[in-house]
Amino acid sequence: MFPQSRPANLRQLMIALAIIIQCSLFHLAAQDHPNIILLMGDDHGWEETGYNGHPYLKTPVLDQMAAKGLRLDHFYAAHPSCSPTRGSVLTGRHPNRYGTFTPNYSIRPEEITLAQLANKAGYKTAHFGKWHVGPVKQGSPTNPGAMGFDEWLSHDNFFELNPQFSRNGNDPVAFQGEGSEIIVRETIQFIDRAVSQETPFLAVVWFGSPHEPYSGLEADLALYDELPESYQDRMVALTSNETGARVRRPLRDVLRERYAEITAMDRAIGHLRDHLKKKALKENTLVWYCGDNGTPSSGLVVSPFRGQKGQMYEGGIRVPGIIEWPARIKEPRHSTLSAVTSDMLPTLCELTGQALPNRPIDGMSLTPLFDGAITSPRPKALCFWSYNAKLEAERGFEPYFPQAQQEGTTPLVKLMNGKATRTFRNFHHPAIEEEDYGGARAIIDNHYKLIISGTNKDELELYHLGSDPAETRNLAASRPNKTKELSQQLREWQRSVLQSLTEADY
């Protein structure tokens, strides 16, 4: 019996040794990877930081990150509104490729996310805060867990003081306190758990601030008691914290609350950075902060740019962008390279040794910037597009999901159709028609930016951002060849996007 069992025992031993070696190599490789934290403000425009010269706002933590890390001066949201931009972070793809056209349009479950790729690289992954690319409840095919996150404490949309969150898809639970502080506290607990398990971590932290309706702690509100009296005479429309409906209020009072939210978010980021330092994690943790679109009309008073949230001008899509990673970015840098939220997935793929998904990717890796290797121009043009989402419903396209799967559960102050929760949508798009190419769109290539209005006449506007960042001088008539070149380039990109929309990539 012994001689006969020996080969079997040897085979078992060899298999066991192979598994041990494989696991050890995997663990060592994972340990070489940086920890990653992706932070995003909600409706936080480019100009709304101290380091970008805002005359009133106090953002000492973001200012310090910009002074010590990589400051991305030409950083863009992939879309001038929130849900689409968030989809671009998750996928590295423009949101029109998978039907996340506007806020409250969901992502599609066939998309490959940075969380799924990080899992393959041995990371523990978690999402905290605003999700807004589908319901966060159990049974949703697009909740954070379905899209690759190991755990989540999330909201279907945005949130204010004393918010309600769903933990891992369970029924919403009320949390007392300031929203940014709450989700950072939860993030810190997740980090400690990952460290105790000796695994690298990816934390995606999407704040509810400073989206309206605004609110703030008394100490933060007091910081902005001295705003100009002249702002008191201007009325702006926003959501009422009392009724959830639209109301008009003096701009000065509104700004005081909005700025208090930004300062509270900044302080929460400081708590997170302090914890990383305390736990000796700061050196090899990449922290990336950005906004999801430009400043809305209710908060816009000073900006070097034209436009606001929802528009293709710089004020609608250029946002704060900072990367801090002391182990790799050893000295302060700033870049004028045009970069975008779609670049996050390709960058993380390179850092974690994962291949890009085998489908059209609109972003590119920014890792050369960490060493100062490239500055400008961008080798790959940036394209933006607000698709006319009304077409989907008007044509009677088949919904991508049963309606029950698209009903959100986490309440918020702002009512929509009389509801405190959100209903999401997405549609199958079986064929491409000429009118699908409509909608406001833009392309940025080597300092030139072409905007096509998306109106019936499709007016063309061409600007040179290097000499005219405020987009005041339309060069379309004087530079017809450049206008035509960029128009054709944008059209080719749209054709690729629409092909993806028909589910050809799956």
Q: Which residues contact 376 (CB under 8 A, 6 or more apart)?
A: 74, 335, 336, 337, 338, 447
3-state secondary structure of 35: strand
Residue among 325, 266, 273, 342 at smallest CA distance from 48? 266
Instruction: Find the mean pLDDT for residues 329-352.
Output: 96
3-state secondary structure of 365: coil
CA pair distance 29, 352, nearest whole angstrom: 9
Residue among 217, 214, 219 at smallest CA distance from 241? 214
Could you read off the pLDDT of 149-190 as tens digits, one per residue? 999 999 999 999 999 999 999 999 999 999 999 999 999 999
Average confidence score pLDDT of the chain: 94
pTM of the model: 0.93
Could you please state the CATH topology (level 3) that the domain comprising 33-382 is classified under: Alkaline Phosphatase, subunit A (3.40.720)
CA pair distance 347, 124, nearest whole angstrom: 18
pLDDT at 26 over 80: no
Q: Into which CATH architecture does domain 385-501 fall?
A: 2-Layer Sandwich (3.30)
Q: 254, 240 in Cβ contact below 8 A? A: no
Q: 333, 70 in Cβ contact below 8 A? A: yes
Look up residue 309 and give its two tokens: 């949230």
Q: Note whether 33-382 and 385-501 share their fold.
A: no
Buried b (16+ CB within 10 A) or exposed e, 189-227: ebbeebbeeebbbbbbbbbbbbbbbbbbbeebbeebeeb
Q: Determine how many CB atoms are found less than 10 A away from the CB of residue 130.
A: 31
> Domain extents for the chain?
33-382, 385-501
CA pair distance 495, 491, nearest whole angstrom: 6
Could you read off the pLDDT of 465-502 as tens digits, one per residue? 999 999 999 999 999 999 999 999 999 999 999 999 99
For Cα atoms 103, 104, 106, give the angle at the middle one, nearest 5 degrees.
Answer: 110
pLDDT at 293 over 80: yes
CA pair distance 309, 297, nearest whole angstrom: 7
